[in-house]
């Protein structure tokens, strides 16, 4: 089985003080650590486990500058066979559709049975690229997948729904699945493992290699344009309610009524 995984290098903002950059359209990323997108980490692990079980190859694609090589080499160290980076000045500032278009054109050049992506990216959380890419390639897709069963030329995908529900969908291959966290336990990548793949070639492809025109991708080819990024306004502090349980209950009711929560 030939599997393609699309990954993204994202900034780690979990414990960082975030500020908006001078453009007003992005956060200031200077001083931030970067790593492989969490959802993509599960996707690459799932692809490698499928390869170990069924045979075949795992090829990883990422759209970004040379810094993305770090995340691609992590995937190679985990067990991927090949990594390709897609970069061109024309690709910059593309929305989910424009990004999916670049990835789809690159994937068309490769034989594949299954495409895996993370459900969403940690930095923007759009969750668009995977499903749009499937539509552009004309293949079925299943999103928010937390279990995969491959049977002959079909894949049975278990997907997570709200309220603790689960849906099981069966689709023909080739297909695209967006992977949810928790589907597996991603393997640890050692420094020695990274060193072993340090000299492995990561081929870079630009717009001309993919027969894409500059106006078709990046900001020019986007249907959505980002106007402004801002931090949420600081709200009022918490109000501590004291008294007997029945007194606190009455105070909560009065607050909800005052705010329009109850009539």
Instruction: Tell me what pLDDT residue 232 has.
Output: 82
Q: What is the pLDDT of residues 85-94, one digit of tens each?
A: 999 999 998 9
Question: Helices (H) and strands (E) in the chain — how many of each?
Answer: 6, 11
Instruction: Tell me what pLDDT residue 163 has.
Output: 83
Question: Scanning the structure block, which residue is given the tokens 């030939």?
Answer: 2
- What 8-state DSSP symbol labels residue 105? H
Enter the tokens of residue 79: 């067990």
Instruction: Tell me what pLDDT residue 107 has.
Output: 96
Instruction: Tell me what pLDDT residue 162 has.
Output: 85
Enter the tokens of residue 32: 């931030």
* pTM of the predicted protein model: 0.86
Domains plus CATH for the chain? 2-216 (3.40.50.620)
Instruction: Tell me what pLDDT residue 185 has.
Output: 96
Distance CA 17, CA 202 (A): 33
Count of residues in the chain: 263
Q: What is the pLDDT of residues 21-60, one digit of tens each?
A: 888 888 888 888 899 999 999 999 999 999 999 999 999 9
Instruction: Tell me what pLDDT residue 168 has.
Output: 95
Residues (pLDDT < 50) of the chain are none
Distance CA 100, CA 129 (A): 5
């Amino acid at each position: 089985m030939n599997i393609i995984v699309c990954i993204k290098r994202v900034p780690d903002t979990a414990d960082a003080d975030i500020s908006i950059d001078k453009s007003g359209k992005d956060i200031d990323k200077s001083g931030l650590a970067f790593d492989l997108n969490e959802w993509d980490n599960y996707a690459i692990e799932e692809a490698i486990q499928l390869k170990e079980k069924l045979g075949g190859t795992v090829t990883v694609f990422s759209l970004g500058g040379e810094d993305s090589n770090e995340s691609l080499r992590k995937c190679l160290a985990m067990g991927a066979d090949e990594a390709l980076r897609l970069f061109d000045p024309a690709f910059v500032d593309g929305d989910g559709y424009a990004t999916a278009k670049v990835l789809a054109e690159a994937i068309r050049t490769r034989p594949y049975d299954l495409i895996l992506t993370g459900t969403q990216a940690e930095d923007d959380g759009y969750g668009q690229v995977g499903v749009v890419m499937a539509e552009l390639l004309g293949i079925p897709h299943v999103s928010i997948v937390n279990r995969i069963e491959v049977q002959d030329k079909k894949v049975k995908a278990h997907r997570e729904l709200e309220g603790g529900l689960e849906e099981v969908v069966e689709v023909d291959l080739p297909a695209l699945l967006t992977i949810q966290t928790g589907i597996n336990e991603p393997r640890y990548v050692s420094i020695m493992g990274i060193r072993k793949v340090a000299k492995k070639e990561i081929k870079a492809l630009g717009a001309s290699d993919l027969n894409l025109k500059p106006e078709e991708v990046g900001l020019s080819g986007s249907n959505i344009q980002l106007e402004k990024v801002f931090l949420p306004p600081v709200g009022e502090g918490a109000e501590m309610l004291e008294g007997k349980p029945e007194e606190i209950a009455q105070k909560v009711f009065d607050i909800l009524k005052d705010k329009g929560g109850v009539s």
